[in-house]
Amino acid sequence: MLDFNYMVSTKVLFGKNKIERLGEELKQYGKNILFVYGRGSIKKTGLYDSVTNIFSRNSIVYHELPGVQPNPRITSVRQGIKLCREQNIECIVAVGGGSVIDCAKTND
């Protein structure tokens, strides 16, 4: 049997104007991001544009995993894992509710 320790840390920023800190927060993790989000409200509310503008202003390369459904499907999880491996993802940013966050955590 192989002995090992495994730690998966998750940092959640939640609250009014927290998005303003996103660029600064990401600097410590790298410049190659997987951006995970749900199906539509992120674009309707303008949050998508806000987040991608922060990525651009901070020279962050991002790869998208859009359309995560409630109770995430294994296909979304596998697609995220594939993107992480192929694109050498350094950090995952999930914007959305519990299902989006759950999907992102499985890719960590």
What are the domain boundaries of the chain?
A: 20-107
pLDDT of amino acid 64: 97
pLDDT band of residue 51 (cuts 50, 70, 90) is very high
Mean pLDDT confidence for 29-52: 94
pLDDT in tens, 86-103: 999 999 999 999 999 899
Q: Model-level pTM greater than 0.75? A: yes
Strand positions, DSSP E, the chain: 32-37, 61-65, 91-95
Angle at 7 between CA 61 and CA 26, to 5 degrees: 25
| 20-107 is classed CATH 3.40.50.1100 | no
d(CA 14, CA 48): 16
